[in-house]
Structure 1
Amino acid sequence: MEPMGFEIAKLVVQAATPIVVGILGWKLSKRLKDIEQGQWANRKITEKRIQIYDEVSPLLNKLLCYYTWVGDWQRHTPQQIIDTKRSLDQKIYVNKYLLEPDVFDRYQEFMEELFDHYSGIGEDAKLRTSYLDRRTSTAYKWDDEWKHSFVPNDIANENTVRKLYEAVMLAQRNGINA
């Protein structure tokens, strides 16, 4: 006959096995749900980043065209360009914490190249591009009231504008793939 302690140990092991298996199963299930929840959250963030990309990319391109004299630049007034900047600022700043930090940083660099932001209290940002060529362009209907929308000097470099545009677009793409 086996000792009484051995019988008790067998009973404890038999009773504990389903409890241990149950606890391990519960922990595994919880971990799998946490992973699934994380994947769902990442998918939602990616979907939102794609939506932001779809909204801001055409506006960024409009600025690129205006500052580099390509595409439909002549269809936009200085006020429309400033309004485009405001719209972009609103979209980027509202979504700043959903975007990768690099997107926000590259966006700010791009805007710093395009605009003089601090031209006076209550004043609109000034465009850092020449109005002289626009004024004489046959493709552009000029209004002398627009002169105040431009900085007189410190004009954005077109190559720098292109590089910064490329940087913000690549940062957006990389943020979507993150």
Structure 2
Amino acid sequence: MRKQLTVNADAIGQAALRAGSCAGADAFLLVGPFMQPINNPWNSLEIVKLVLGVLTPLSVACLGWLVARRLKRLELVQWTNQRLIEKRLALYDAVAPQLNALLCFYTWIGYWKDISPDDVIRAKRELDRTFHIYRYLFDDDVYDAYHTYIHALFDMHTGPGRDARIRSLIQAPDGDRSVHGSYEWKPAWSDRFATANVVPKGDVLRHYTQLMERLRVALGATR
């Protein structure tokens, strides 16, 4: 009986050993593949390559968009400046002859004999209208120079509803407007002159030159 128990025990032990061996083998086979190290430097390098591969095209696209946007703005600024210069040049073509006519009349030079008092008043009205309408297309120094020039030529304080008076002489060492003019003199024109506070010809020329210099700078013209 004892021998039989011993044999059974041995058999059970051997079976257990065989079962344990198989279970251990299976466990090793199942666990083995999951035991590889996860901190492999080659895996990190591949991730970096992948990230760079995605970011590089995006960076290039963003840079291209920013450059294109900047160029578009520059083109718009250049176009706007060009249009502004063209408009200023058109205004210069309109006012320059009138400003010069006033200079000739007040300094008794050039074609002053062909400029009547009516022409002078008309030129002032048109110049005032132009400079007031387009004042903000120019820098303030342009309007200030015009304001100084026109106030040197006219007496503005003549009363409500009355035209400004011409600050010049009718008869002067340079000539007589009522006689030497190419137009027919009208006696009523005498009231249009303010002969008490006449600005010297040198000051008239100086104010005119300053105004024309300001206009030249506004046009971007160099001498």
Equivalent residue of 1:97, what SS? helix
Residue 137 (structure 1) shift:
3.3
- Select between 19-28 and 4-13 the one with higher mean Cα deviation: 4-13
Alignment of 1:161 with 2:204, yes or no, is: yes
Q: Give me the whole-angstrom Cα distance separating, in 2, the residues matched to 1:138 and 1:23.
A: 75
Residue 14 (structure 1) shift:
0.6
Q: Give me the whole-angstrom Cα distance separating, in 2, the residues matched to 1:139 and 1:146.
A: 13
Q: Give me the whole-angstrom Cα distance separating, in 1, the residues matched to 2:70 and 2:78.
A: 12
Equivalent residue of 1:177, what SS? coil
Residue 10 (structure 1) shift:
1.8
Q: Deviations over 1:61-114 (max 9, x none)?
A: 010011011222222221221110010111111111112322211111100100
Q: Give the structure 1 partner of residue 121 of structure 2.
A: 82
Alignment of 1:128 with 2:167, yes or no, is: yes
Q: Deviations over 1:45-74 (max 9, x none)?
A: 111111111111000001001101122222
* Partner of residue 17 from structure 1, selected from 50, 53, 56: 56
Alignment of 1:52 with 2:95, yes or no, is: no
Q: Give the structure 2 partner of residue 176 of structure 1.
A: 219
Q: Give me the whole-angstrom Cα distance separating, in 2, the residues matched to 1:130 and 1:73.
A: 13
Q: Give the structure 2 partner of residue 102 of structure 1.
A: 141
Equivalent residue of 2:130, what SS? helix
Amino acid paired to 1:17: T
**Greater relative contact order (CA < 8 Å, ≥ 6 in sequence):** 1
Amino acid paired to 2:158: S
2:113·2:177 contact (CA, 8 Å) conserved in 1? no
Q: Give me the whole-angstrom Cα distance separating, in 2, the residues matched to 1:136 and 1:123.
A: 23
Question: TM (normalized to structure 2)?
Answer: 0.74
Residue 5 (structure 1) shift:
3.6
Residue 142 (structure 1) shift:
2.4
Amino acid paired to 2:206: K
Q: Give the structure 2 partner of residue 137 of structure 1.
A: 179
Residues 135/175 of structure 1: CA separation in 2 closer, same or farther (3 Å cut): closer
- Structure 1: gaps (5+ residues): none
Equivalent residue of 1:123, what SS? coil
Amino acid paired to 1:146: W
| Number of residue pairs matched by the alignment | 178
Amino acid paired to 1:138: H
2:113·2:180 contact (CA, 8 Å) conserved in 1? no
Residues 136/77 of structure 1: CA separation in 2 closer, same or farther (3 Å cut): closer
Q: Give me the whole-angstrom Cα distance separating, in 2, the residues matched to 1:10 and 1:36.
A: 39
Amino acid paired to 2:109: V
Structure 1's consecutive aligned runs of 4 or more residues displaced over 4 angstroms after TM superposition are none
